[in-house]
Structure 1
């Protein structure tokens, strides 16, 4: 099997982000990719550098306003006298259904949900290659591979159709689902990141051809706060096609598995032709995010349970931050998943 990754993705390296009103060092660092790549290779995956894809898959799930913003905002921001070296919003609209702003400052506030998605000089190039990675991994599965792993960095599941947030810019899992839809009537997305995949939910909330399922720390006191509650079930044609399973902070392996089984039953009931797994590893007990208490062995059990679905699957990297066992956690998941997926 393949791990799809381009070292160009490491060019994205904003040095700071805003959290709790404090400017801190950005934890979404290029070293994450090095450790994850080592973990994938330890599991026996062969690296594939994706070709350069156009904007087709990106623009299928993101608005043209937003794509134009991401690709050009840093250059425009640098023209602001006395402005910062990285794009960070300082104002947000209280409504988003009016006239589209022309100011770079206003557009940053319009398209960036929080202070945890700064844009640096080389960010767009890396963001685009992260999306290319997800696109290529999905194409491999669409064209006959049983599964693949997209080492997409920066991650993507907090990105809406027209808004970045939480270290995420383009929704790589959503892009992969779109590519898979080219060969399947229905596609499911299972998000196991410790944070709710709010951008993914928003992207498909009114659709019945994409089932979105997320297991995450209860957002009542955890990022992203405003999305991810159990009563969010979809809307319009998508009512009943969104399934949230918020769990208490500190959830461990034993408490996690019943929720995972419920998620897998819902996916089986949907009968999709293919699956996207938004693979966050920040549910780990020693991850800096401090949400869940999943062990390295626990990730293996999660992988095994998901693998038993036997669906053509694209694993798309989401969260998981620097800690001693980051690579080992990925290896454990991949080994568990791969051991049963082909059976």
Structure 2
């Protein structure tokens, strides 16, 4: 399989974040990129640097004012307080408060959803490169059937106008919009990350051209808490095109695989002709940020299922945090996918 990546993934390097009132070591480390790239290389996949696509494809997903905020925030940090080492909110926008502030300190709280997604000096370079990785994989998948984008930082919690959950630009949504517009067809997104893909749902919730499915741990006591429930099915033109499959915590291979099979059937019924997989590996039984119990063997079977269609398919890396088996789980998914497609090169 063709694997796209960028060394710019290393430029965003958060140190700590707040979780349940405590500052802890940040889970979304640059070492994730290095470990996953090495796993893909040692498995014999075809490694290639991502191209550069610019801002235009991202504007199909995110608002102009949000993208301007991401680009300008670091250079404006002294307006908040001189000498800041990172940018995080001190206040948050609430649903009943809709005015857009002119000052950067208010824009931070408007556009950032939590205390786990800090902006650093070179964050913008890293997130733009991550989007380029997803777009490179999507372009290759359109021409050759499938590809994997080793995106870091991840993206599926980034909404139209907000960063959160370690995510800034929604790489999965950017890839889906690119495939939709290039192929002029209905695209499916199947998100298998342990966390609900709330950002992707937000982007396409009123859209019938992109079918969104998320398979994740029950969010009633798990991030993102406020979305990811079975009764969220879309609105307006998108009604009936969003499917959430929340799973009981501790669910293992069979429940997870049954959900993926159902997701594929749902996409087929909705007339999907191309697919983007939000490839979270944090459903692993050993993931430090997970709530499910999928084995490496289960991930191989997952790859087989996802590769069983004839749809052009882009696999976009989302979550999956440092553990002894993270690299093996990536090898398993890609190997299972290739075993269904009958090609290693892609």
Shorter-chain TM-score above 0.5: yes
Q: Which runs of 5+ in 2 are unaligned?
A: none
Measure the CA separation in 2 of the matches of 1:68 and 1:187: 28
Query: TM-score, normalization: structure 1?
Result: 0.97
Separation in 2 of the partners of 1:132 and 1:290?
A: 27
C-alpha distance in structure 2 between counterparts of 1:247 and 1:197, whole Å: 14
Separation in 1, partners of 2:342, 2:237: 34
Aligned partners of 1:282 and 1:188: how far apart in 2?
21
SS in 2 for 1:47: strand
Provide the secondary structure at the position in 2 that maps to 1:281.
coil
The residue number in structure 1 matching 2:117 is 117
Distance 2:223 2:165 in 1: 9
- Once the two structures are TM-superposed, the CA of residue 197 in structure 1 deviates from its matched residue by 0.2
Paired residues in the alignment total 342
User: Are 2:79 and 2:104, in contact at CA under 8 Å, matched by a contact in 1?
Assistant: no
User: Which whole-Å deviations, capped at 9, do the CAs of 1:206-235 have from their partners, x for residues lacking one?
Assistant: 000100001000000100000000000000
> 1:159 matched to which residue of 2?
158
Task: After TM superposition, give the deviation of residue 99 of structure 1 in Å.
Answer: 2.6
Alignment-derived partner of residue 90 in structure 1: 90
SS at match of 2:144: coil
Do the aligned partners of 2:185 and 2:274 also contact (CA within 8 Å) in 1? no
Q: Which runs of 4+ in 1 moved over 6 A?
A: none
Asked if 1:31 corresponds to 2:34, the answer is no
Distance 1:164 1:333, change over 3 A: same
**Aligned partners of 2:288 and 2:321 also within 8 Å:** yes
The answer (yes or no) to whether the contact 1:197–1:228 under 8 Å persists in 2 is yes
Give, in angstroms, the shift of residue 271 of structure 1.
2.5
Matching residue of 2:241:
241
Corresponding residue for residue 223 of structure 1: 223
Tell me, which stretches of 5 or more residues in structure 1 are unaligned? none
The verdict on how the C-alpha distance between 1:317 and 1:171 changes in structure 2, with shifts beyond 3 A counting, is same
Q: Are residue 304 (structure 1) and residue 300 (structure 2) matched?
A: no
- Counterpart of 1:47 in structure 2 is 47
Other-structure match for 1:188:
188
Deviation, structure 1 residue 254: 2.1
Q: Provide, for residues 76-100 of structure 1, a one-character-per-residue CA deviation record: whole Å limited to 9, x for no partner.
A: 1134335631111110122376331
* TM-score (norm: length of structure 2): 0.96
